[in-house]
């Protein structure tokens, strides 16, 4: 009986700890992969396309909203931009939570756990931000001091 209680206690403690280790490792891997993808994207194209280059943006980002947002770029009204990746809890890897990572037109990295929803639907619905400052404030983006 004593042995069974010890085993049960170890399982009760061990399974959540194991899950937390798995989750933290998965988040770190996602951030590393996302930042590598963004870095490769910026080597190919140092900035997003202009508003008159809708065909190029559609081809590169797969989907656009009013020529200011694709699945990989967000362009603010003042001309500043973000190259980004977004992971939504609803997209299959629920254990990651909501993740957003981006590099802006000044070379600064940001992250957020704001729930943008699938394909950043919330941002698309709210419309083009005026500036990076507005985006950062509205979506709880936090500056990362070094590349993730």
In the sheet that holds 109-112, the strands lie side by side as 64-65, 69-70, 73-75, 81-87, 99-104, 109-112, 142-144
Task: Using alpha carbons, select from 12, 24, 6, 31 the residue that is nearest to residue 148.
Answer: 31
pLDDT recorded at residue 135: 94
pLDDT recorded at residue 61: 44
Q: Residue 18: CB partners within 8 Å, gap ≥ 6?
A: none
Structure-derived torsion over alpha carbons of residues 41, 42, 46, 51, reported in degrees to the nearest 10: 40
pTM of the complete model: 0.72
pLDDT recorded at residue 122: 86
pLDDT recorded at residue 82: 92
Going from the first residue of the chain to its last (148 residues), give the mean pLDDT of each consecutive group of 10, the final group possibly shorter.
Answer: 64 60 74 88 72 43 63 88 86 75 93 84 87 94 82
pLDDT recorded at residue 60: 43
């Amino acid at each position: 009986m004593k042995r069974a209680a010890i085993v049960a206690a170890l399982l009760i403690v061990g399974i959540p700890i194991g899950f937390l280790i798995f989750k933290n490792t998965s988040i770190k891997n996602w951030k590393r992969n996302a930042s590598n993808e963004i870095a490769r994207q910026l080597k190919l194209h140092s900035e997003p396309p202009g508003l008159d280059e809708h065909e190029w943006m559609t081809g590169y980002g797969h989907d656009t909203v009013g020529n200011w947002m694709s699945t990989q770029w967000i362009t603010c009204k003042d001309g500043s931009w973000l190259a980004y990746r977004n992971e939504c809890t609803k997209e299959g890897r629920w254990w990651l939570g909501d993740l957003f990572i981006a590099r802006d037109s000044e070379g600064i990295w940001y992250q957020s756990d704001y729930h943008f929803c699938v394909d950043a639907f919330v941002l698309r619905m709210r419309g083009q931000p005026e500036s990076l400052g507005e985006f950062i404030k509205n979506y709880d983006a936090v500056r990362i001091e070094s590349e993730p």
